[in-house]
């Protein structure tokens, strides 16, 4: 949704709105996946640490 409004910016006139949209959404999805992976690593490392230090 926000992608179509951003594609109207003058700086993106040389690129077609569709290709800009695809770039925009792939960037969004990539960052989401990165966040998920980082979250998973953080959770698993925390769980690992607590297991290590259990009496």
pTM as predicted: 0.45
Q: Which domain holds residue 20?
A: 2-52
Q: Provide the terminal-to-terminal Cα distance of the chain, rounded to the nearest Å.
A: 52
Q: Are 6 and 14 in contact (CB under 8 A)?
A: no
Q: What is the total count of domains within the chain?
A: 1
Give the 3-state secondary structure of the chain: CHHHHHCCCHHHCCCCHHHHHHHHHHHHHHHHHHHHHHHHHHHHHHHHHHHHCCC
pLDDT (tens digit, 9 = 90+) per residue, 3-51? 444 445 555 455 566 777 788 888 889 999 999 988 888 887 776 666 6
Return the closest-CA partner of residue 18 out of 31, 29, 4, 5: 4
């Amino acid at each position: 949704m926000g992608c179509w409004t951003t594609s109207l910016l003058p700086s993106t006139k040389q690129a077609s709105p569709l290709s800009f949209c695809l770039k925009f959404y792939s960037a969004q999805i990539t960052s989401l996946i990165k966040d998920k992976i980082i979250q998973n690593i953080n959770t698993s490392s925390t769980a690992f640490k607590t297991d290590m230090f259990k009496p």
